Amino acid sequence: MGDTQFGEERLRRALSECAGMPSEGVVEHLQMLASQWLGQRRHDDMAVVAISAPRTHHLSAVGGHTQGRYTA
């Protein structure tokens, strides 16, 4: 009756299947899994946002002036 959420653990498992996918693929995969999980049940709305960064650039917390990390 709408008391059960998709949940963090289910989201973690779903994201573990997305390794190496482009951000668009991750969004599509998560929307598909959530829609399958919902079935015909009613829901308010669904939003998925994926942010990607170049894998070979130095990432910095503030304007390139603080110690950050490199992506692999």
The domain of 27 spans 8-70
How far is Cα 61 from Cα 35, in angstroms, rounded to an integer?
Answer: 35
- Total domains in the chain come to 1
Q: What is the pLDDT of residue 58?
A: 58
What is the pTM for the complete model shown?
0.62
Determine, yes or no, domain membership for 19: yes
Annotate 6-47 with DSSP letters as a single string: --HHHHHHHHHTTTT--HHHHHHHHHHHHHHHHTT---S---
How far is Cα 35 from Cα 59, in angstroms, rounded to an integer?
Answer: 34
More confident residue, 10 or 61: 10
Q: Which two structure tokens, joined as six digits, stand for 11?
A: 């989201």
The answer, yes or no, to whether residue 29 has pLDDT greater than 90, is: yes
Q: What is the pLDDT of residue 33?
A: 92
Determine, yes or no, domain membership for 34: yes
Determine, yes or no, domain membership for 33: yes
Determine, yes or no, domain membership for 1: no
More confident residue, 22 or 3: 22
